[in-house]
Structure 1
């Protein structure tokens, strides 16, 4: 099992998932208290030399939107060519206010903003692979080329994009931890418990921000 390096080590990176207005209170797909994470993530960012930010970035009419399927409503599940798909309220449409990163998110030294969900026919929770589980985003290659071996994952939502990203990071051979107090969950039909179980089985560590390696 790969070992986590300390945040200050240049072999470590903070991966900040989808801190966008549509996932904040009042947004199209709001996560309770999502905005409360911003100060903590800013503080964590100061401890890392390397920071990567993801941004959900859907074209209008995306296949994951309930509005794209007449007669369907948000949070139903349908079958698509790549498997089961939860239908979501229309959210994070490219260049919309809801797709913007929170104004108070202050990570000026972030080296990469990775946009995902750009393919109109495939959803993308993970920062590493689209939901067809075959199409890479290029993040694994970026990390390897920059000598990054450890990832600390934070953001929204814990039981979807954070969990999928953490699992794929572990599968790709990176030492991976989720900083649980720097995340919030949707918890849809037991999704939070299932996410923790799946991450644990892959060796993803569950940390509190006060317990990061020195």
Structure 2
């Protein structure tokens, strides 16, 4: 079995460990809270950590509540393609947008907020869903000399998947720590995400595969 030992050129990217994605949250990811202690343990083995935070305005266009007659989890055609409509979640400054209280967020050297533009949703840590508007994370990682990124967090089939695919597109090695992620799994979205990330050249492993 290949063992991965994090180095100074590696960075752990923790995706959206926020209250609204926890089991009692507005957009609950099943067992989302189960990854928090494992992510905290993973962070102890990395010198460098980045965390992302969904940060939507109250009237974000991806919220079903902004579209009369539409329901959460329906899809629409946005100017940049298909867009899932979501329950209101991770609204700026609300308790739902805060990190899970047990997540050791102070360990992160950068907290990157995404989804704050009203008219563009943002799954990826690297680029808005229009695929043209960067978040700035690529430049940060390159300037700091990171080459390999490890991903953990929520949700596997949306924000983790898009972040992994964009990491590969930007030339980084990408590793998904599968047991430190959880999925929403809408109509087979988890299986599709696993296939897409593997096709992009990402490595899949479990936390136990990381050498201490």
TM-score category of the 2 structures, normalised to the smaller one: over 0.9
Q: Distance in 2 between matches of 1:173 and 1:108?
A: 28
Structure 1 partner of 2:174: 176
Tell me: CA distance 1:98–1:7, structure 2 relative to 1, closer, same or farther (3 Å).
Answer: farther
Structure 2 partner of 1:156: 154
2:68 is paired with a residue of what secondary structure?
coil
More deviation in 6-15 or 188-197? 6-15
Taking structure 1 as the reference length, the TM-score comes to: 0.96
The unaligned stretches of length 5 or more in structure 2 are none
Taking structure 2 as the reference length, the TM-score comes to: 0.97
1:179 is paired with a residue of what secondary structure?
strand
Contact 2:18 2:100 in 1 (8 A): yes
1:189 aligned onto 2:187? yes
Contact 2:3 2:209 in 1 (8 A): no
Return the offset for 1:110. Answer: 1.2
Contact 1:159 1:195 in 2 (8 A): yes
Contact 1:25 1:35 in 2 (8 A): yes
Superposed CA deviations along residues 162-201 of structure 1, whole A, max 9, x for unmatched, are: 0100010011000101000000000001000000111111
Structure 1 partner of 2:70: 72
Q: Distance in 2 between matches of 1:13 and 1:80?
A: 33
The unaligned stretches of length 5 or more in structure 1 are none
Count of aligned pairs between the two proteins: 211
